[in-house]
Structure 1
Amino acid sequence: MNRFVVGAMALAAIGCAGMAQGADLGYAPRAPYTVYQPLNAYSWAGPYLGGTLGYEWGSVGNNPTKPSGITGGVGAGYNWQNGSPWVFGVEGDINLTGADDTFAPWKFSNPWFGTVRGRAGYAFNNILFYGTGGLAFGELKGMTFGGVSESHTTAGWTLGAGAEFGLAQNWSAKIEYLYVDLDNSNFVVTGAKNDYRFGLVRAGINFHF
């Protein structure tokens, strides 16, 4: 009887060992879990601050002068980009200019101007093409021989387009064209209503926060 019990226990032990070995042979370790994530695209979203340098050329209404000259200024803006190539934003700038011209007894100049604009564009990763438009304002200064001068600050509108290039995640460079139309004012020195319309090509650099 004891021999029978011992033998049965031995057979059971051998069977359990065989089952364990079979389980080990059939086990395949699971591959580690991997997250596949594409490289992050360039982001245009957020605030930025920058400067521009350019050249303007224009004409004064009811007057033969055609002021032109170098412009330079500073600007700031904010972009929205919600996970798509479309970029929307607002931008404002203020600029000093050396644009002037003299014809016969008159001299007209545009000492400064500014704009507040909306922007809408389409981004190809770090390249953004955009259109822009909004409010323009600035000074038109008239002068006659003898040093008699007169200045008027007026508002108007502006439209333009440009391209901006992401140099690094915090830096971008742009080239832009704007057409600016400043409303007319009654000038005593000319005895007429004079307005100022000009085109502007400028390059700039922005720092993105």
Structure 2
Amino acid sequence: MKKLLLATTALVAFAAGAQAADLGSRRAPVAAAVVAPAFSWTGFYVGAFAGYGWNNYNIVGLGTGTGNGPLLGGTVGYNYQINQFVLGAEADLAFAAITGRPAAAPNFSLRTNMLGSVRARAGFAVDRALLFVTGGLGIQNAAFSANGGPIERFTRTGWTLGGGVEYALTQNWTAKLEYSYYNFGTRPAGAVYGLPVRNEVHTVKLGVNYLFSTGPSAVVARY
């Protein structure tokens, strides 16, 4: 009986000591979850694009006409992202071959050789996708000729509006699809023919941009 009592006492003492040792030991820290940084649209970018354009015009005295043709150009701009909103400025320049003739006067030809713009841009970002609208100054260089006569070249300024979607393929490369409308009003083509021409251009562009990112994530506004 005495031996059983001693054995029981020793077992209880050992268990108490083991529990006390366990309570006093320091637990290993739990590793924090690794969160991938959100994509940031902030930064300068350059790019190139190809597209197609449609020319709607009205030559006073000769009637209306339409034209179409390809365009190829480049882009430079800057984005700044605050939360999910992206603000920026962009300029582009494209060489074009958008040619048309009035239906009532097929010997007259109007060709858009160049389209450019300087625009503000605003968008809403959902991580790597950016939906945007844009608008600003439009620039056109065109050539007008009639009945095999001299070619009269002229440059106009007007306004442009558009919108599109851009998607980040990698941390630096993005692809975009954009629609633009240009309005250059009604003005004389030049001194040679002196015919007032009203001109509008619609374009669809598909391009890629290289973003010189300034940080891994967007600026978070605190309220």
What is the aligned-residue identity percentage? 32
**1:186 to 1:170, Cα distance in 2 relative to 1, 3 A:** same
Corresponding letter in the other structure for 1:207: Y
- Name the structure 2 match of 1:50: 47
Counting only pairs closer than 5 Å after superposition, residues 157-196 of structure 1 correspond to structure 2 as: 157-187=159-189, 188=191, 190-196=193-199
Q: Contact 1:65 / 1:106 at 8 angstroms: preserved in 2?
A: no
Gaps of 5+ in 2: 1-16, 213-223
Task: Give a deviation string over 1:157-205, Cα, whole Å, max 9, x none.
Answer: 1001100011000101000000011233313455431132011111000
Alpha-carbon distance in 1 for matches of 2:117, 2:28: 59
Shift in Å at residue 24 of structure 1? 4.2
Q: What number of residue pairs does the alignment pair up? A: 189
Q: Contact 1:59 / 1:65 at 8 angstroms: preserved in 2?
A: yes
Gaps of 5+ in 1: 1-19
Alpha-carbon distance in 1 for matches of 2:118, 2:41: 19
Alignment RMSD, CA only?
2.0
Task: Give a deviation string over 1:64-104, Cα, whole Å, max 9, x none.
Answer: 2312100110011110013x111111110000001011342
Alpha-carbon distance in 1 for matches of 2:19, 2:95: 86
- Name the structure 2 match of 1:204: 207
Alpha-carbon distance in 2 for matches of 1:119, 1:87: 8
What secondary structure does 1:130 align onto?
A: strand
**Which residue of the other structure, out of 26, 32, 41, is the alignment partner of 2:38?**
41
TM-score, normalised by the number of residues in structure 2: 0.78
**Which residue of the other structure, out of 146, 164, 167, is the alignment partner of 2:148?**
146
Q: Which has the higher contact order (CA 8 A, sep 6+)?
A: 2
Which deviates more, 182-191 or 53-62?
Answer: 182-191
Shift in Å at residue 37 of structure 1? 5.0
Q: Contact 1:59 / 1:197 at 8 angstroms: preserved in 2?
A: yes
Which deviates more, 49-58 or 183-192?
Answer: 183-192
Corresponding letter in the other structure for 2:64: P
Counting only pairs closer than 5 Å after superposition, residues 19-168 of structure 1 correspond to structure 2 as: 24=21, 26-32=23-29, 34-36=31-33, 38-62=35-59, 63-82=63-82, 84-103=83-102, 104-168=106-170
Q: Contact 1:65 / 1:107 at 8 angstroms: preserved in 2?
A: no
Larger Rg: 1
Task: Give a deviation string over 1:100-155, Cα, whole Å, max 9, x none.
Answer: 11342210000001011111111111111111111101112110123312122111
TM-score, normalised by the number of residues in structure 1: 0.83
